[in-house]
Structure 1
Amino acid sequence: MAGFLVPPWYKVEPLSRSVFIYINITWGATLATAIFSSGKAAYRTHRLRHRGRRAIVYAIMLWLELSSCTIMSILLWLFNSNEIEISFQLLFSWVCLWTIQIHCLMQIIVNRVSMIMYDERRAERLKWTVAVVLGILNIIVFVIWIPARLQVSATWIYTNRISARIIKGMLCLVDVSLNLYFIYLVRTKLIADGLKKYITVFRWNLAMIFVSISLDLIIIGLTWLPIVVYSQFHPLMYLIKLNIEMSMADLIAKLVKVNNDSGEIFQLGRSEDTAAWGGAHSVSENH
């Protein structure tokens, strides 16, 4: 029996044995990464519980990213295993989870950038600019992807095939642009002013940009394969990126701690852990 809003001509895409093995391996890797990420997120949440509104928002974003990736991965695996059938509700839930993933991750990156921006208004504009750009991409996906996955018509399927690659390219561009801007600020605002300890952050972020771009290129490349292949990989990719962001926050916090003579962490943000969720003027307090 077809699910809600599924046309009678809908055809289930058969999976080869090799594809099904790939799906199971990817799902297992996603669950393992989710468990590892949960430990890091729990530790960070414990440290942030009394750190103020900004820290609480950051912790919420961590858990939203983690939970949305995990839930999406489970739903995809159940669908690909024929445990649940296609329906409008299922597709809508996938797009909602995907929307949460990209917004939370990008805003976590925006926060990292805003920590070393001296102009709080510019930091706020950056946050809303990214949110608006992502919102436009979300609307396009809601409009095109769901009808295409329901196989409403060949036109929708073809349009989605093209738009999916463009949207993933745009997301890669936003990700890379934010990280390059962060590197530029570290280089011009910190290292150039004599804070040589941030050379480590500079080099680490260069390496992470390479990893991030590689992941984005992999997911774009997978769009030429059956949709189940790249869709199952997507939650894993965002969990890896989340771990990169948490590692970056830990690195910044450690550097700040080394530089603090009093032993209390109030240099970057309001505490050690708000190095991951600090104000726009936080680094300027070091000068």
Structure 2
Amino acid sequence: MNILTQTMKNEGFFALYKGMASPLLGIAGVNSLLFASYAISKRIVSPFPELSLPEIATAGAMAGAANSILASPVEMFKVRMQGQYGAKGDKKLSKVFWDMWREYGFKKGVMRGFWATVAREIPAYAGFYTGYEFAKRKFRSKYGNQVPVWGLLASGSCGGICYWLSCYPLDVVKSRVQLANAPPKGLDYIAQELRAICNFDPPMWPTFKTEHPFKETNVLPEDVRLATLAFGFTTGFGYFVVWHAIKQTHKIRKRTAYIIMCWLEVAACLTLAILSWLFIIEVIGHSFWIYFVIVTLWALQLQLLLQIIVSRICILLPSSSQRSWLKFTVAVWIVLISISVYCIWIPAKLQISEKWIRVNLYWDHIEKILYLFTDAALNIMFIRLIRQRLVSRGVSGFFCSAPATIDPAKLKKYDKLVALNSRMIVISLSMDVIIIGMLSYRNDLVYMQFHPVAFMVKLEIEMCMSRLMLKVAKSTGIEEGPRSDHPEELHTASGRGVSVHVTTQVITRTDNLGVDYESGHGPEGDDIPPPLYGSDLEGQFQLSDLDPVVKAGQDTTGIAKDKKTIQWAIGGRERVGSSSSQHSDLSLK
């Protein structure tokens, strides 16, 4: 704010537009090259019109690299125009251009800082296009293809924020290179500028005054052994978690939020385990940044794991608004807890004052207990929902909007499922209790090593429960029926007929390879079921008001697909084509 007021006071309002001539003249060529490069890059990355977000990021990075050819000189002249500090003899754009050309030539003058610009543009436009497309697709999923104007504005804002978050440090390096009096030397001039920034006096990172001299934590040999034991368990058990995640990833062709969160959780756990262990054995020293990174990884662990739990609950919530509000509420709640830890735990570890140390002594326990209660509340909510959907209402309750009278003997396997889920949840919550217990250990550095242990175990439990939910969703849905040329297979165990009102949805051209699943696949019209892509539960199984209704008092074991009318298209990337709904009454006797 002081810079703004001083600039306007000394140079006037139009000083805020200093250097505008360069981008104003060059913006047409820069944007033309950018959008043309992006269109070509998309065709190179994928032959399909609808790209995934990682593919969009790749195409944006390629477009940014190509765009640097024109963006570099435009940025260079803009920076040098802005670097003139209010002297009466400020040079005009033409004067700046000819001075650079005569003194340094084309390569070291006009194109100065080209590689720094390339380094900036690659992450910048990868972030811009990814952020824009992500926000736009969210609005499109809610409002259809006719996204409102304010939605497009919000999408553009999201893209702009991602642009600068992705490239701002490199933009500082580029500006320093282009504003320097002499051209850079050597191929590693970007690294040289980064080192120069880090060696500033005062430094570019926070420094703090403490009430008393900093006291190093005394780490005993038994502390190191206990921390090493926890680190070894994290890496050893992590092998099975990674293998489980790989298997689930291979089953899902489309990289969904569930899979991404699982991999991010694995990465956060392993990174925190390595970092904490190196800190305990004194390979990494005490600093603000080590504590900042530890809290950041811890916050990511909490947020990702709870969002995975929420995605499991969302399978059983019929309303999209309920699912959105649950995700949003949990995310905001964990962000607030994380902010409090940033504000209290880091000053306490830096030993700023005795007050922060005392506050952290209590708050460290309180925030862990708050997380335990949050975890427990979400899991209790899940158990209640699954009892209502699977046990109380039976097989039909998972897909039907009307309750059915079901033989209790047929629900034993679902009682066992709920009991198994309950036991797994108890184990998961016990991991939180272990973390709270480790807070009482004499060396508070050791308990940090148990965070990755607990969260790695909790992640494995979540993936196992996701697999169980997938089996439940398949087993309680409309199963593949026997062929009509074997009438003896159409009888139920009790011999009673089943009348089912089925809502079917026919979708063509859903697979990203262009495979159309139509009735009558295979020889003689045999039904070939489309592939299921693994355990992205929320994406595959969500309740709606269009679920089939099973009439009360009727058996459900004979529910079967009508191979001429029912087609399931799940997990495809490109959901294009005609979609129609049909209702049919099947009578199985």
| Superposition TM-score, scaled by structure 2 size | 0.45
AA matched with 2:293? S
AA matched with 1:275? L
Q: What fraction of aligned residue pairs are identical, expressed as a percent?
A: 33
Q: Which moved more, 1:197-206 or 1:83-92?
A: 197-206
Indicate whether 1:77 and 2:283 are aligned: no
From the superposition, tell whether residues 10 and 230 of structure 1 become closer, same or farther in structure 2 (CA, over 3 Å). Answer: same
Pairing of 1:56-67 with structure 2 (within 5 A): 56-67=256-267
In the aligned structure 1, how far is the partner of 2:386 from the partner of 2:252?
A: 25
Select the structure of larger CA radius of gyration. Answer: 2
Please give the per-residue CA displacement for 1:202-254, whole angstroms capped at 9, x wherever unaligned. 11221022112211111111111121221110111000000000000111222
Pairing of 1:159-198 with structure 2 (within 5 A): 159-195=359-395, 196=411, 197-198=413-414
Structure 2 gap ranges (5+): 1-204, 396-410, 481-527, 550-589
* Aligned residues of 1:265 and 1:271 also touching (Cα < 8 A): no
Structure 1 gap ranges (5+): none
Q: Once the 2 structures are TM-superposed, how far is the Cα of residue 272 of structure 1 from its aligned partner? A: 4.0
* Aligned mate of 2:535, from 252, 260, 273: 273
Indicate whether 1:252 and 2:463 are aligned: no
AA matched with 2:218? P
Pairing of 1:15-54 with structure 2 (within 5 A): 15-50=219-254
* Aligned mate of 1:152, from 352, 361, 364: 352
In the aligned structure 1, how far is the partner of 2:416 from the partner of 2:431?
A: 23
* Aligned residues of 1:116 and 1:283 also touching (Cα < 8 A): no
Q: Once the 2 structures are TM-superposed, how far is the Cα of residue 33 of structure 1 from its aligned partner? A: 1.6
- Residue of structure 1 in register with 2:57 after alignment: none
In the aligned structure 1, how far is the partner of 2:547 from the partner of 2:303?
A: 29
- Residue of structure 1 in register with 2:418 after alignment: 202
In the aligned structure 2, how far is the partner of 1:90 from the partner of 1:273?
A: 36
Q: Once the 2 structures are TM-superposed, how far is the Cα of residue 286 of structure 1 from its aligned partner? A: 6.8
In the aligned structure 1, how far is the partner of 2:261 from the partner of 2:273?
A: 18
* Aligned residues of 2:259 and 2:536 also touching (Cα < 8 A): no
Please give the per-residue CA displacement for 1:131-184, whole angstroms capped at 9, x wherever unaligned. 111011011001001111111111111111100100000000010000000000
In the aligned structure 2, how far is the partner of 1:31 from the partner of 1:241?
A: 15
Pairing of 1:97-246 with structure 2 (within 5 A): 97-195=297-395, 196=411, 197-225=413-441, 226-246=443-463
AA matched with 1:154? E
| Superposition TM-score, scaled by structure 1 size | 0.89
Number of residue pairs aligned between Structure 1 and Structure 2: 278
* Aligned residues of 1:149 and 1:157 also touching (Cα < 8 A): yes
In the aligned structure 2, how far is the partner of 1:105 from the partner of 1:145?
A: 21
* Aligned residues of 2:268 and 2:300 also touching (Cα < 8 A): yes
In the aligned structure 1, how far is the partner of 2:547 from the partner of 2:444?
A: 49
From the superposition, tell whether residues 276 and 45 of structure 1 become closer, same or farther in structure 2 (CA, over 3 Å). Answer: farther
In the aligned structure 2, how far is the partner of 1:231 from the partner of 1:220?
A: 11
Please give the per-residue CA displacement for 1:69-126, whole angstroms capped at 9, x wherever unaligned. 1000100000000101011111111111111111110000001001001122111111
Q: Once the 2 structures are TM-superposed, how far is the Cα of residue 271 of structure 1 from its aligned partner? A: 5.0
- Residue of structure 2 in register with 1:5 after alignment: 207
**Which structure features the higher share of helix residues?**
1
